[in-house]
Structure 1
Amino acid sequence: MASESHEWDTAEYTAELRENRLLYTSSTGAHGQIDLADIVGVLPDQGSTGHRILFVTRGAREDTKDSCGYLTSIKVNSLHELSPLPVLAELPAHLQYPEPVHIVVSTQSGTGTAQVVLENLVQPFFSYLGIDYQVHETQSAETIHQLSRSLFLEKAIAGINQTIILLSGDGGLVDIVDGFYKSTIPIQAAPHIALIPCGTGNAMASSIGLRSGPASGLVTLLRGRPSSVPIFAAHFSPGSKLVIDEGRKRSSIDSQEGSSETIIYGAVVASWGFHAALVADSDTFEYRKFGAERFKMAANDLLHPSDGSEPHRFKGKIMMGLPDHATGGQSEECIEDEEHMYILATLVPRLEKDFLISPDSKPLGGQICFLRFGVLPADEVMRLMTLAYQGGQHVQEKTVTYKEVETLHIQFKEDQERWRRVCIDGKIVAIEEGGWMKLRKEPRQLLELIKLGSERF
């Protein structure tokens, strides 16, 4: 579809910078101020010699449906006093392709704000830029996976440059990752993917610097550049199933083309134990209404079972392949203790905006970092989790194992399926009794994510 028409203020303003604010006044006396963090960009005004400042205004209009705010603008004739602002002379290449931009709206992600973000921010953004786009709204949990395996993959194989914007959580990205990496046909043009976080945790978005809400996604669209997305492959023993429909149903995992192996490809995290259990338990309609708080609520239920018993001791054998950077090889290490509380391998530093689980990880850096601690009292587990919210201080604790790995192998020794659930980028997999999971880096790089050149952590 073509960009929809939106009304823009045609008045001309004078503006000046004062500390972290932009103060503006029109010739008719209208005035206001903009927090610099809410400025999306400054572009040449279409059809005039001035510039237009695009910014997000919050809670100032009756039709604003959500705290995401709405995109608006003012026109200024002189930038002489505004030189620190991000003035863009021309659009980046990923916004100039002949192919319409694909906007994927995940209607069920997080607290369901993606549609509002589309209407209040994204559509006005493309209206001003005059860029054609096509909206794809999810109809089920399979929609993005189906789009990936058909529309997006077909264009990539044909060598057609395309930009895909995900108004979703991490699940939208992993659906595209899994679809592309399970194809055996060579990719001729890697898609450029932009994230506008609308999920609960938004681990990848938070890790690449998109921590100030949807507006930061628009800033990155204008000023960011594509970077290859590192991927891991999680292999599962035969009989492993996806857990769907709020835990009520099981479905088969798509096989690799031409292979009987059970694999899911991911870009964020693979976990077992406490983390996987709280993600699985909180994936219900009732929990999701509470946003990111759902994780803390589920965590409390796991640490303080209603029957008054102790938290579960997760049983299994864990083996790691550690990189030897001097020789380029790796060494094997086995964790002697076979009872665990928290086991996680991640490619990103953050699982939530403020939850710095792996402070040594670099955004899109390609290192897999492993974190584990054994059975601990409930209050000690919460203390460690609190330290993760305090700049990742948990990794300095003696009870925490934290190191870079090349591979990870878990042999599960649990009788009940509930304790054999693992999390792959938000997807839950139930492992068969006596089964295993093997994790390794994926050497291929088939997708590119749009990010700013530097982030502060």
Structure 2
Amino acid sequence: MTPPAVVYNTDDGCFDCNPCSDSIRFKSDQSQKETTIAVANIICIVPKDNCGETVYSLLYLRNDAEATGIKDERLLLDNILLATVPKPLAERYLYAQLPPHLCPSGSRRGSMDIIVSTTSGTGTGASFFNNILRPLLSHLGVNEYKTHETQSTQTITELCNAKFIPRASERLPQTIILLSGDGGLTDMIDAFHSTLDSLTVPPTIALIPIGTGNAMANSLGLLACPAAGLVALLRGTPASIPTFAAEFSPGARYIIDEGRQRVPILRMSDDGHPRVYGGVVASWGMHAALVADSDTLEYRKFGADRFKLAAKEILYPSDGTEPHKFRGAVTLFKKDNQTQSKHEELLRRKEHMYVLASLVSNLEKDFMISPLSRPLDGRLWMVHFGPMSPSSVMQVMTSAYQRGQHVGNESISYEEIEGFRIELGELDERWRRICIDGKIIIVETGGWVKVHKDPKRLLNILLLQNSPHQCNN
């Protein structure tokens, strides 16, 4: 990207920055050209040489519609040059040196890989990489990395087994920039936790969310502003990712290809049961059903709204029947925080509508399923309730979009757990689907699933502790 010819002055009268404002105005004293930039779109400011003089490049995200006049949600990386950097801007955005996780790769200094998921969300990963991430790294002088585009649902798992896990075992540092939704992160969690038991050097993952729900990213604040994920890449600090393990009865299978295929779960627990790992959510009932039903190309074109559309179909079946009542025995594993004693609680209810355990607060940007969850605190919270009228369920879901107010409903159970077990009593396989971080697993008739927190933390993710932004959107 060629820097603009105009250098903007930041003397009094040419620079307007109100800390509480949504935008910042710049004006060139040479051409009198003015530029207004949304605060939430600013990524950083980096020093640049301009014909022997030091100027400062302010990098920000610009909506393509600003240039074309055509309604378009695509964001592009753009920049303006500043003659000087006022103190308010310097304190918030000046980027003087690379953080350790972005240092150039070397024999033992670490490596950096970028994974671009080609199927996450509405398929914008490649565009984001080409239009934003790659030019941003070039501005920062970061050119030593390898890029991988996913070719199948197994690409990330294969990369972990072939490259990332061996490097971690050799105690070599590595940074992985992941342009993906929750599924890509889950693939990494499952691969590492299924393979490694000994102490390693955890890879540092920079999650750039391009999925549909983006539960992890939303819960970490990586979508609070358009630039938040990129700011976390530059200023974030590594924090370990808590996980859970899900074990299944022997006949459990993954459902793939829009529900048309079943594939085996290859990894087994010590007692021979299929086992997968996750870091976001484990569910059965309405949530698992709507995630499974909406995982099609037809639904995905609606973005996050696909979940709402699928939910309406489940609650208001087209054949006019009542919504399904999910049958099974649910046991919760709990621990007394004072005595640390553990106990089990079998729910008296045998019919259920919603059974969901979460390590994160938000399943979507505004859908706060667990308001007491804090980023990466490792606490597992369960939300569950029995059969209700469709209108009552919709009211519960609406309340979840209102900063988690659903947990105040007396019909909703919300509690911290160590894990749970479900013995499914369903004959129709449609109601025997389990959701683990967006992946769907079907359990055989009479089968079961058991979920428990895993003590190991084998991956780090960049967490934005104190964003320079006061995000207003």
Match of 1:8 among 3, 6, 10: 3
- The amino acid across from 1:267 in the alignment is G
CA shift, 1:424, in A, is 0.1
Taking a change above 3 Å as real, the CA distance of residues 204 and 248 of structure 1, as seen in their structure-2 partners, is same
The equivalent residue for 1:24 is 26
CA shift, 1:10, in A, is 4.8
Q: Find out whether 1:445 has 2:423 as its counterpart.
A: no
Q: Find out whether 1:105 has 2:112 as its counterpart.
A: no
Q: Find out whether 1:114 has 2:125 as its counterpart.
A: yes
The equivalent residue for 1:327 is 339
Identity of aligned residues (%): 45
Q: Find out whether 1:49 has 2:44 as its counterpart.
A: no
Equivalents in 2 of 1:441, 1:46: separation in Å? Answer: 51
Deviates more, 1:36-45 or 1:385-394: 36-45
Q: How does 1:231-310 map to 2 (within 5 A)?
A: 231-256=243-268, 260-310=272-322
1:295-348 CA distance string (max 9 Å, x none): 111001000111111000000011111121112222221110110000000000
**Is the 1:198–1:214 contact (alpha carbons within 8 Å) kept by the matching residues of 2?**
no
Taking a change above 3 Å as real, the CA distance of residues 293 and 30 of structure 1, as seen in their structure-2 partners, is same
The equivalent residue for 1:77 is 83
CA shift, 1:147, in A, is 1.1
Q: Find out whether 1:96 has 2:100 as its counterpart.
A: no
1:56-104 CA distance string (max 9 Å, x none): 1112345999624111112223223534532233221111152442111
1:387-424 CA distance string (max 9 Å, x none): 00011000000000000001211111111111010000
Structure 2, gaps ≥5 residues long: none
Taking a change above 3 Å as real, the CA distance of residues 249 and 222 of structure 1, as seen in their structure-2 partners, is same
CA shift, 1:152, in A, is 1.2
**Is the 2:40–2:225 contact (alpha carbons within 8 Å) kept by the matching residues of 1?**
no
Equivalents in 1 of 2:148, 2:67: separation in Å? Answer: 27
Taking a change above 3 Å as real, the CA distance of residues 123 and 346 of structure 1, as seen in their structure-2 partners, is same
Equivalents in 1 of 2:292, 2:219: separation in Å? Answer: 22
Match of 1:147 among 139, 146, 159: 159
- Secondary structure of 1:85 counterpart: helix
Equivalents in 2 of 1:383, 1:144: separation in Å? Answer: 38
- Secondary structure of 1:120 counterpart: helix
The equivalent residue for 1:86 is 93
Equivalents in 1 of 2:165, 2:363: separation in Å? Answer: 28
**Is the 1:282–1:298 contact (alpha carbons within 8 Å) kept by the matching residues of 2?**
yes
**Is the 1:68–1:214 contact (alpha carbons within 8 Å) kept by the matching residues of 2?**
no
Taking a change above 3 Å as real, the CA distance of residues 142 and 219 of structure 1, as seen in their structure-2 partners, is same
Equivalents in 2 of 1:162, 1:73: separation in Å? Answer: 29
CA shift, 1:159, in A, is 1.6
Equivalents in 2 of 1:146, 1:440: separation in Å? Answer: 26
**Is the 2:237–2:465 contact (alpha carbons within 8 Å) kept by the matching residues of 1?**
yes
1:235-281 CA distance string (max 9 Å, x none): 11111000000000000112148773311100000000000000000
Q: Find out whether 1:129 has 2:131 as its counterpart.
A: no
Equivalents in 2 of 1:403, 1:221: separation in Å? Answer: 33
Equivalents in 1 of 2:173, 2:437: separation in Å? Answer: 26
State TM-score, norm by structure 2.
0.91
Equivalents in 2 of 1:8, 1:420: separation in Å? Answer: 56
Q: Find out whether 1:159 has 2:159 as its counterpart.
A: no
The aligned length equals 452
**Is the 2:111–2:173 contact (alpha carbons within 8 Å) kept by the matching residues of 1?**
no
Equivalents in 2 of 1:258, 1:440: separation in Å? Answer: 15
**Is the 2:382–2:415 contact (alpha carbons within 8 Å) kept by the matching residues of 1?**
yes
CA shift, 1:377, in A, is 0.2
Q: Find out whether 1:33 has 2:36 as its counterpart.
A: yes
Equivalents in 2 of 1:321, 1:338: separation in Å? Answer: 17
1:209-230 CA distance string (max 9 Å, x none): 0124652211111111000000
Equivalents in 1 of 2:23, 2:439: separation in Å? Answer: 42
Equivalents in 2 of 1:246, 1:352: separation in Å? Answer: 21
Equivalents in 2 of 1:248, 1:324: separation in Å? Answer: 44
- Secondary structure of 2:158 counterpart: helix
- Secondary structure of 1:149 counterpart: helix
- Secondary structure of 1:207 counterpart: helix
Equivalents in 1 of 2:181, 2:72: separation in Å? Answer: 17
Equivalents in 2 of 1:223, 1:454: separation in Å? Answer: 9
Taking a change above 3 Å as real, the CA distance of residues 195 and 64 of structure 1, as seen in their structure-2 partners, is farther
Equivalents in 1 of 2:69, 2:134: separation in Å? Answer: 15
State TM-score, norm by structure 1.
0.94
Taking a change above 3 Å as real, the CA distance of residues 192 and 97 of structure 1, as seen in their structure-2 partners, is farther
1:138-175 CA distance string (max 9 Å, x none): 11111111112211112111222111111111000000
**Is the 1:197–1:214 contact (alpha carbons within 8 Å) kept by the matching residues of 2?**
no
- The amino acid across from 1:450 in the alignment is L
**Is the 2:204–2:461 contact (alpha carbons within 8 Å) kept by the matching residues of 1?**
yes
Root-mean-square deviation (Å) = 2.0
**Is the 1:68–1:213 contact (alpha carbons within 8 Å) kept by the matching residues of 2?**
no
